[in-house]
A and B are shown apart, each in its own frame.
Chain A
Amino acid sequence: MATIGHNNLNAKLVLLGDMGAGKSSLVLRFVKGQFLEFQESTIGAAFFSQTLAVNDATVKFEIWDTAGQERYHSLAPMYYRGAAAAIIVYDITSADSFTRAKKWVQELQKQGNPNMVMALAGNKADLEEKRKVTAEEARAYADENGLFFMETSAKTAANVNDVFHEIAKRLPRAQPTQNPAGMVLVDRPAEGARAASCCS
């Protein structure tokens, strides 16, 4: 959920798409500016955070990766909860991955919050010679379904920052939160709070 405070926006962003479409590569490129030719299946990253400055505000993205739970269609509802934005990633060299991307869009429309900003990213745009999905087809689909579309390359960095930046611009600014945020438990001793406690 996008939450606001002093022109600072916190937004949970989730990535969806087939295994191997390049979800983690996009995040790594965006967050760390890195690209690994043989990125392993996602292990080890819970989520990343990255702050972007747009015209009127700073947007802090909390980026959730699937942690591989999409492999056997076993993503937990927790993954979608409160997401303000989603990037659905497919591989332009795989028609199957585009078909699967459409299914992820349907799943999001069912599970996610209706005001979610959705981006469709045709990744691996550097592999033009192996292209199986045309940009026109993908753009037409995106237009029909209220997504914005970009072709990206985590390898060359083309359009990667742009996708995140466009999402940041599109996030609703003054949206009342549907479910008031709760607290995340942080292990910090409550100094001074003891005074109000029992038995003292």
Chain B
Amino acid sequence: MAETESYPPIDPTNFDLIVVGTGLPESIIAAAASTAGKSVLHLDPNPHYGSHYSSLTLHDLTSFLNSQSPNPRINPHQSTTEASDHATAALDLITRPLYSDVEISSYDDSVSEHSRKFNLDLAGPRVLFCADLAVDLLLKSTANQYVEFKNIDSSYVCDGNGNLMNVPDSKSAVFKDKTLKYSEKNQLNSFFKLVQGHLEAVKSVGTGVDEGKVISEEDLERPFVMFLDKMKLPPKIKSIILYAIAMVDYDQDAGESCKDVLRTRDGIDRLALYHASVGRFPNALGALIYPIYGQGELPQAFCRRAAVKGCLYVLRMPVISVLLNKDSGNYKGVKLVSGQEITSDKLVMDPSFTITSSPSEALQDVSKVFDAGKVSGKLARGICITKSSLKPELPDTSSCLVIYPPRSLYPDQATSIRVLQLGSSLAVCPSGMFVFYISAVCDDALEGKKSLHAAMDSLFSVHTSGTTDSSLTDQIESTEVKPALLWSALYVQDLIEGFMGPVVMTPTPDGNLNYNDLLRATSKLFQQLYPDDELFPEIQNTDSSDKLEDDSEVDIES
């Protein structure tokens, strides 16, 4: 219910763990800790679940972005809080802005009229690979029963001439592909075969390995791009493998100046993930899936899982300070906006919080956590709404992924730009509309926005005069009618990594297409929090109260 006349008192007032923020990492930690039998209080200052991982209505997204970006705003809790007793010190918490350069444009009023019919992801574009860690965790935690998924219908990669090529990601796709030459098909197939052989050989180590098939240790340590060159793969195929299957961010042909070189070993791992994802589920045709109602369903599913295991949920409850023991400097509890103090052994917080001033020396241990949560990079994100699909000629394609590899849109495009189109069958927008998520890793807002605009100019037409950069649009000679842009939100998000300390800080959404890196970081945090507990141990079938599927017919015929 929306109304909050006053902040309710929370009972009990002591927990094993307090978690602040309901983003995906926090929700997984809350669910795993509850499953391990800990008493957990899960708070969120927002009126919705998901924090920076939410899916929101159009209006809520707009106001969330604005409220979490730097603008001259008076902090309602600026006065220094005092703990109720003298042995306790209070560190005041403030919201740190994670978003900047927020630009929201509306070209058609019909979009905001349907605000409530949108479920817009804050951290898009994002998908799950059928064999990735998110799927594994959903299954292990049994949170899978709360979420339904659909396939992403197809993937495309831009070839540098503005043409979108289908990504042939499996043998049958290679066979059916109409854009590849016969020789190219052979090259791609033999490369897939080589990788397959390598993976099988690695799996069967010590059981009479066919050594000939294993990629040499030397090659595994070298850059993946050099290995692809060694295999004599043409640029087009290389680009598909690097950017549309291994989903690399930085230009791998940039040599020494490339910021993040993918080694062959990791490249092969990413191909293996993609390979294992195709056909993992009998009813999922491709490698990629997306949750109906948006990515924000995932934190909700883990929160529900946590609640079922006894975790207490309180939304709309800001924490105003972290309480410490004055003598030891140890973490003690939190003070809520209601004035109530709640104690716990451990505290996990989402990275949108920081403390106001540097406290006394005794308290440095805890304040160190907030120092550690420094911005490690930036990410430009865009959300665009249209009334037509990128592929109107393919009526079956309502969702698709488009990759613009580095340098494919403009000469100094340093990183991949990824675009995800979703249709109303995923319940993320009104029927007849489409939502596009765009993202690119960047050094600064200027570069990031340039990437977003380049992709948008290539994808959409805008019915306003004189705003498009003509030097960019000239490159693209497409006769297709582009979808008209109705609404867009562009913003730059800070990247902050998780940190383990007396207070645990969870990571912000990263720039990847899947959750793998985030979930690795999250399970590491959980392991450090509770070294003796497993993150969702395998469930025995005896737990029948969990899901009663006995289907006993209760026949009360009328």
A residues apposed to B, CB below 8 Å:
30-32, 43-55, 58, 60, 67-69, 71-74, 76-79, 81, 103-104, 107, 161-162, 165, 169, 179-188, 190, 193-194, 196-200
Contact = CB atoms under 8 A, between A and B. Distances in A.
Given A52-B556, A67-B304, A185 B144 contact: yes
A82 to B, nearest CB: 8
14 contacts: A30-B554, A43-B308, A71-B313, A72-B8, A72-B314, A73-B1, A78-B147, A179-B292, A182-B148, A184-B148, A185-B149, A196-B278, A197-B278, A198-B271
A191 B265 CA distance: 28
Interface string B1-25: 1101000101000000000000000
A190 B282 contact: yes
Contacts of A67: 304, 307-308
Given A50-B554, A198-B192, A183 B148 contact: yes
Nearest to A110: B2
Nearest to B136: A187
Interface in B273-309: 274-275, 278-284, 289, 291-293, 297, 300-301, 303-305, 307-309
B253 to A, nearest CB: 24
Contact of B145 (A47, A188, A196): A47
Given A81-B293, A199-B192, A185 B4 contact: no
A188 B289 CA distance: 17
Contact of A198 (B8, B135, B171, B284): B171
B307 A190 contact: no
Nearest to B545: A44
A118 to B, nearest CB: 16
Given A50-B554, A179-B292, A198-B192, A69 B304 contact: yes
A190 B49 contact: no
A53 B8 CA distance: 43
B275 A76 contact: no
B293 to A, nearest CB: 6
Contact of A161 (B2, B425, B556): B556
Contacts of A76: 49, 300, 303-304
Interface of B: 1-2, 4, 8, 10, 48-49, 135, 138-139, 142, 144-150, 169-173, 192-193, 195-196, 199, 271, 274-275, 278-284, 289, 291-293, 297, 300-301, 303-305, 307-310, 312-317, 425, 427, 545-549, 551-558
Given A185-B135, A186-B144, 18 more contacts: A30-B554, A45-B308, A46-B146, A52-B555, A52-B556, A53-B556, A68-B307, A74-B316, A78-B297, A78-B301, A107-B2, A169-B558, A179-B427, A183-B281, A188-B281, A194-B279, A196-B278, A199-B199
B554 A74 contact: no
Given A55-B558, A72-B315, A49 B281 contact: no
Contacts of A179: 292, 425, 427
Contacts of B280: 190, 193
Contacts of A190: 279-282
A79 B48 CA distance: 13
A73 B427 contact: no
Contacts of B147: 78, 184-185
Can you list the 3 inter-chain pairs with the closest CB atoms, starting with the nearest? A182-B148, A199-B196, A193-B279
Contact of A60 (B146, B282, B551, B555): B551
B308 A44 contact: yes
A69 B42 CA distance: 11
Nearest to B140: A187
Nearest to B245: A198
Contacts of B4: 73
A51 B283 CA distance: 25
Contacts of B317: 72
Contact of A49 (B291, B300, B548): B548
Given A78-B293, A183-B149, A48 B548 contact: yes
A181 B172 CA distance: 27
Contacts of A186: 144, 281
Given A73-B315, A165-B556, A179-B292, A46 B279 contact: no
B315 A74 contact: yes
Contacts of A199: 170-171, 192-193, 195-196, 199, 271, 275
A177 B297 CA distance: 20
Contacts of B293: 77-78, 81
Contact of A68 (B301, B312, B425): B312
A185 B138 contact: yes
B308 A182 contact: no
Contacts of B146: 46, 78
Nearest to A106: B1
Contacts of A198: 169-171, 173, 192, 271, 274-275, 278
Contact of B275 (A74, A78, A197): A197
Contacts of B557: 53-55
Contacts of B547: 46-47
B244 to A, nearest CB: 12
Contacts of A78: 146-147, 293, 297, 300-301, 304
Given A78-B297, A183-B150, A186-B281, A54 B545 contact: no
A49 B545 CA distance: 11
A68 B169 CA distance: 45
A161 to B, nearest CB: 5
A200 B279 CA distance: 12
A49 B192 contact: no
Nearest to B317: A72
Contacts of A187: 139, 144
B307 to A, nearest CB: 4
A59 to B, nearest CB: 11
A68 B313 contact: yes
